[in-house]
A = this chain, B = another copy of it.
Amino acid sequence: MYEDRIRLAALRDRVMSADEAACLVDDGMVVGMSGFTRAGDAKDMPAALAKRAAQHPMKFTLITGASLGHDSDKTLTEAGVLAKRLPFQVDATLRGAINRGEVMFVDQHLSETVEFLRAGQFGKLDVAVIEAVAITEDGGIVPSSSVGNSASFAILADKVIVEINLAQPLGFEGMHDIWIPGRRPHREPLPIVGVSDRVGSTTVKIDPAKIAAIIITDTPDSASNALPPDAETQQIAGHLIEFFQHEVKRGRLSTTLPAIQSGIGTIANAVLSGFLDSPFEHLTMYSEVLQDSTFELIDAGKMDFASGSSITVSQRMQDQVFGNLERYRDKLVLRPQEVSNHPEVIRRLGLIALNTALEADIYGNVNSTHVGGTHMMNGIGGSGDFARNASMAIFATKSVAKGGKISSIVPMVAHVDHNEHDVDILVTEQGLADLRTLAPRERVKLVIDHCAHPSYRELLRDYYQDALRYGGHTPHALERAFEMHINLRDRGSMLAGQEA
**What would 16 A/B residue contacts be, using CB atoms closer than 8 Å?**
A99-B471, A101-B471, A108-B421, A121-B252, A189-B193, A344-B344, A344-B348, A365-B416, A372-B478, A373-B478, A374-B474, A380-B421, A388-B389, A414-B476, A416-B416, A416-B419
Docked-complex contact B384 and A100, CB < 8 angstroms: no
Tell me which residues across on chain B come within 8 A of A405, comparing CB atoms: none
Binds B, one of A131-139, A155-163, A431-439: A431-439
Chain A residues 383 to 439 lying within 8 A of chain B, measured CB to CB, are 384, 388-389, 391, 414-417, 419-422, 436-439
Docked-complex contact A419 and B417, CB < 8 angstroms: yes
* A500 CB-CB contact with B under 8 Å: no
Docked-complex contact A478 and B470, CB < 8 angstroms: no
Docked-complex contact B421 and A384, CB < 8 angstroms: yes
Expressed in whole angstroms, the Cα–Cα distance for A438 and B414 within the complex equals 21
Chain A residues 449 to 499 lying within 8 A of chain B, measured CB to CB, are 467-468, 470-476, 478-479, 481-482, 485-486, 489
Q: Of B252, B416, B475, B486, which one neighbours A374 at CB under 8 angstroms?
A: B475
Docked-complex contact B189 and A194, CB < 8 angstroms: no
Tell me which residues across on chain B come within 8 A of A348, comparing CB atoms: 181, 184, 187, 189, 344
* A191 CB-CB contact with B under 8 Å: yes
With contacts A373-B478, A486-B479 taken as known, whether A188 is within 8 angstroms of B184 at the C-beta atoms is no
Tell me which residues across on chain B come within 8 A of A121, comparing CB atoms: 252, 436-437
Binds B, one of A46-54, A112-120, A204-212, A268-276: A112-120
Docked-complex contact B188 and A193, CB < 8 angstroms: yes
Docked-complex contact A373 and B185, CB < 8 angstroms: no
Tell me which residues across on chain B come within 8 A of A439, comparing CB atoms: 84, 104-107
* A447 CB-CB contact with B under 8 Å: no
* A279 CB-CB contact with B under 8 Å: no
Docked-complex contact A105 and B473, CB < 8 angstroms: yes
Expressed in whole angstroms, the Cα–Cα distance for A73 and B251 within the complex equals 33
* A331 CB-CB contact with B under 8 Å: no
Expressed in whole angstroms, the Cα–Cα distance for A376 and B471 within the complex equals 10
Q: Of B109, B258, B442, which one neighbours A421 at CB under 8 angstroms?
A: B109
Docked-complex contact B441 and A100, CB < 8 angstroms: no
* A375 CB-CB contact with B under 8 Å: yes
Chain B residue with Cβ nearest A98: B473
6 additional A-B residue pairs with CB within 8 Å, beyond A105-B473, A187-B348, A479-B486: A104-B439, A119-B252, A121-B252, A185-B258, A188-B193, A373-B476
Q: Of B99, B185, B365, B481, which one neighbours A473 at CB under 8 angstroms?
A: B99
* A343 CB-CB contact with B under 8 Å: yes
Q: A365 → chain B, closest Cβ, in Å?
A: 7
* A246 CB-CB contact with B under 8 Å: no
